[in-house]
Every structure is written in C-alpha cells, then in structure tokens.
C-alpha cells in the first residue's frame, strides 16, 4: 500500500470538478477566478452519486448503506488548476481530510460530447455527512443532481 506524499497530493496540473459554492455563481468561486486556473466547461460525473446538504452541498460516494436517495450523475464545472497555492486554498476551504475528501472521478461534458477520465472531486466525508454511519442515514439528502436547484 502506498501513501500520498505532499508532492503527489499537490502535483500539477489537476482538473478539479466543482458542484457547489465553487461554481461560477457560487460564493467561493473567487478561489478559481484567477489567471492561472482555466475553466474547461460544464460537465457531469460519469458515475452516479448522492448529493446532500447541511447549508452547503456534499456529494457522497455510493454505498450499500444508502437507502434514502437515488444516486444520479452530478452536474458541475471543471477547472484546470495549474498553481499549487490554488490547490492548497481549495483544500483549506473544503477542510480536505476532515469534512471533504479529494478523490478521482470520471467526467463527461454536458451536453455529452467528450470525456475527462482523470479529474478530482471533493466528496463529503461520511464521518461528517452521515447522521449515523452504521445505519447509513444521511443529513438532508437532496433530490437532484445540481446544488443550484435548491438555492
């Protein structure tokens, strides 16, 4: 088993997929609005996930314990991050390793024209987003694929 070193966790460039407050209309978009980060367009996840909310959205990886919501592809935006300080700022905002976990995800453009096989998304950490990890009860499960349908 190999562990992530700081160099591999922050190696660049990275494609980051955002679905909530980091999107163009979101309150935290300023972190991606700079000369070195490139907007790649609207995408959706190839896999299906569950979106939940606690005032802010989180995407939860599918699990046999999820019985309260139907997983759907998640719509959002993809960005090419080319500066390590931007990635550090995103991880800091998302409390990466605590509230959120940055992990790989496959994307398709929306509408579907092309795919990105290697992007990253901030998944909600089950330790924070579940009411009870053993039962699989989620916090405020949302009934769609886009956070902005609820704001």
Catalytic residue set: 94
Contacts of 129 (CB under 8 A, 6+ apart): 52, 54, 58, 60, 99, 138, 139
C-alpha span between 150 and 146 (Å, rounded)? 8
Closest alpha carbon to 57 in 116, 141, 1: 141
Helix (H) or strand (E) holding 90: helix 84-93
């Amino acid at each position: 088993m190999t562990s992530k070193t700081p160099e591999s966790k922050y190696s660049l460039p990275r494609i980051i997929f955002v679905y909530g407050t980091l999107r163009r209309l979101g309150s935290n978009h300023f972190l991606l609005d700079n000369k070195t980060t490139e907007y790649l367009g609207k995408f959706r996840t190839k896999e299906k996930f569950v979106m939940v909310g606690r005032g802010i959205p989180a995407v939860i990886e599918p699990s046999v314990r999820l019985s309260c919501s139907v997983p759907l592809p998640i719509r959002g935006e993809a960005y090419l991050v080319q500066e390590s300080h931007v990635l550090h700022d995103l991880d800091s905002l998302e409390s990466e390793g605590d509230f959120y976990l940055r992990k790989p995800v496959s994307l398709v453009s929306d509408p579907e024209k092309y795919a990105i096989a290697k992007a990253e998304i901030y998944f909600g950490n089950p330790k924070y987003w579940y009411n009870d990890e053993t039962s699989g009860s989620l916090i405020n499960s949302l009934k769609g694929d886009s956070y902005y349908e609820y704001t």
